[in-house]
Amino acid sequence: NYYAHSFHLYNQEINVPILIYSSANFSDYGVQSDIAPTILDYLNISIPVKYQGISLLNENREYSFHQQNFIGNEWAVILKTDKGMYKYYYFGQGNKFNPVREEIYEIISDKEEKNNLIGNISGDLYNELRKKLGEGFGIS
């Protein structure tokens, strides 16, 4: 029920499928900005320092950060653990038009992000996600 990109940070809008046919060992998790560095790395071409992404060759990422400022403000951090992949959303500025809201999803088992876990996860996981988002975007 969504179209286009950049309105929100839900998987339906930001997932970009990619298929790489190779015997190389690629990480199974990345973001769109990792595609160009991965191709350059695969071709043994130096990755420019200004690139924000990282190569997915033999690189394991624990966190990724996402931001959208098109309609209101949304920030998200994804944490990959042995038990799942958790996506924490922080919405808005706290005004009446765009109230602050938080959501957490385990996005491997809940790809459509229908089961908000915000009140049903451990305090340690919530605090880690919240802290990491704050560090990534300066949100307190």
The whole-number pLDDT of residue 4 equals 60
Average pLDDT over residues 90-103: 74
Average pLDDT over residues 62-86: 84
Instruction: Compute the mean pLDDT over every residue in the chain, rounded to the nearest whole number.
Output: 84
Instruction: Classify the C-alpha dihedral 6-10-13-14 as positive or negative.
Output: positive
- Between 60 and 2, where is the model more confident? 60
Q: What is the pLDDT of residues 111-136, one digit of tens each?
A: 899 999 998 999 999 999 999 988 88
CA distance 112 to 26: 25
Query: Which letter does DSSP use for residue 57 in this model?
Result: B
Q: What is the pLDDT of residues 7-30, one digit of tens each?
A: 778 777 777 777 888 888 888 777
The whole-number pLDDT of residue 129 equals 94
How buried is 105 (Cβ within 10 angstroms: 0-12 exposed, 13-18 middle, 19+ buried)?
A: buried
The whole-number pLDDT of residue 115 equals 96
